[in-house]
Structure 1
Amino acid sequence: MDQLVDFTSSLPAALQWLGVMLIGAIPFVESYLGSAIGVLVGVPVPIAILAAIVGNAVCMFVLVVLADAGRQKAVAVRAAKGETAAADLERTETRSRKQEKVKRAFDRFGVPGVSLLGQWVLPSQITSAMMVGFGASRNAVIVWQIVGITLWGIGFGVLAALGVNLLR
């Protein structure tokens, strides 16, 4: 965290928002920590929050589009080979624990639930790509992830601003 704060504060004041945007694109930092770092560095609160949200959302969008293209290609290859549901079941058995956790949450809460709460488990970039891999609509994932990214960014940005104001 100190390195991210140092990186952002080392930029000229007029470009610190760009540093916050780049930080927001980093998995596990995302909009929530990116907005807080921006506020701590002194970027105006609305700009820090917006920059972190945009960085996170752009990164997530790119990964979702790539995951969707990969899934479409894999489905086409499987269809050409005539693979059955048994092959899908076999692939299911090779998932990691975190993938299984996301899949169970996806099956239970759908795209909205995983998008809003999934950041407790894995970064939005990873959960969004996983959901598309599970067969969720690319557009639904993008919309709900942007909602989640925005809410988390605003929440942590506001909390950081309140904390900074208390320290003054």
Structure 2
Amino acid sequence: MYDALQSFTESLPAFWQWAAIILISAIPFVESYGGALIGVLAGVPVVVAIAAAVVGNWISMVLVVLLFTKIRERRGSDEKPLSPRRQKFKERFDKFGVAGVSLLGQTVLPSQITSGAMVGWGASRSAVIFWQSISILLWGIAFGVLGMLGVNLLEGR
């Protein structure tokens, strides 16, 4: 099955390989790490898989940040009580800040959700985009490399 997936991927033009990884990586819970891993396992070159995965995840995250910035601007300071789950996340945000939540948040929630929540709570849009960009890049590289090592192990290199 693994060989069939790689053969199918190789039969596609490079544009469609990139486009598929970009689209997959824009999906919450797949993110740059899942997209990079899927791309590498499908036979896309590691650098291409990581780059496409990062681009897809980054675009969707930025769109969410811009959307939540507009919502926050329209809503103003009308604060509603938070559910226990959201309160717990807000406490983590207050403790670790934008950088900590961005870098570690993907272990629990997608970057789109954490980005929207941070902007909704008043974090700087530029700070969220900056730290989420670093996080998306680091997670994409880490899982792309892990995928490459796994492929090499499967192929006996």
What is the correspondence of 1:43-62 to structure 2 with a 5 Å cutoff?
A: 43-62=44-63
Write the letter of the residue equivalent to 2:108. Answer: V
Listed as ranges, the gaps of 5+ residues in structure 1 are 79-86
String of CA shifts for 1:73-99, please: whole Å, max 9, x gaps: 111xx5xxxxxxxx63xx1x33351x2
- Count residues with an aligned counterpart: 149
- 1:158 aligns to what? 145
Query: What secondary structure, in the 3-state scheme, does the structure 2 residue paired with 1:152 have?
Result: helix
String of CA shifts for 1:19-73, please: whole Å, max 9, x gaps: 0110110000000010000000011000000000000000000010000011011
Query: What secondary structure, in the 3-state scheme, does the structure 2 residue paired with 1:120 have?
Result: coil
CA distance in 1, matches of 2:154, 2:21: 22
Distance change >3 Å, CA 13–CA 167, structure 1 → 2: farther
Matched, 1:142 2:122: no
Conservation of the 8 A alpha-carbon contact between 2:10 and 2:43: no
Q: Report the structure, 1 or 2, having the larger helix content.
A: 1
Distance change >3 Å, CA 166–CA 10, structure 1 → 2: closer
Q: Pick the aligned partner of 2:83 from 91, 95, 103.
A: 95
Shift of 1:9: 3.9
Distance change >3 Å, CA 109–CA 149, structure 1 → 2: same
Conservation of the 8 A alpha-carbon contact between 1:102 and 1:118: no
CA distance in 1, matches of 2:36, 2:63: 21
- 1:35 aligns to what? 36
- RMSD, aligned CA: 1.9
What is the correspondence of 1:107-122 to structure 2 with a 5 Å cutoff?
A: 107-122=94-109
Conservation of the 8 A alpha-carbon contact between 2:33 and 2:141: yes
Conservation of the 8 A alpha-carbon contact between 1:11 and 1:19: no
String of CA shifts for 1:104-133, please: whole Å, max 9, x gaps: 111000000000000112100000000000
Query: What secondary structure, in the 3-state scheme, does the structure 1 residue paired with 2:41 have?
Result: helix
Shift of 1:102: 2.1
Q: Percent identity?
A: 56
Matched, 1:74 2:61: no
- 2:12 aligns to what? 12
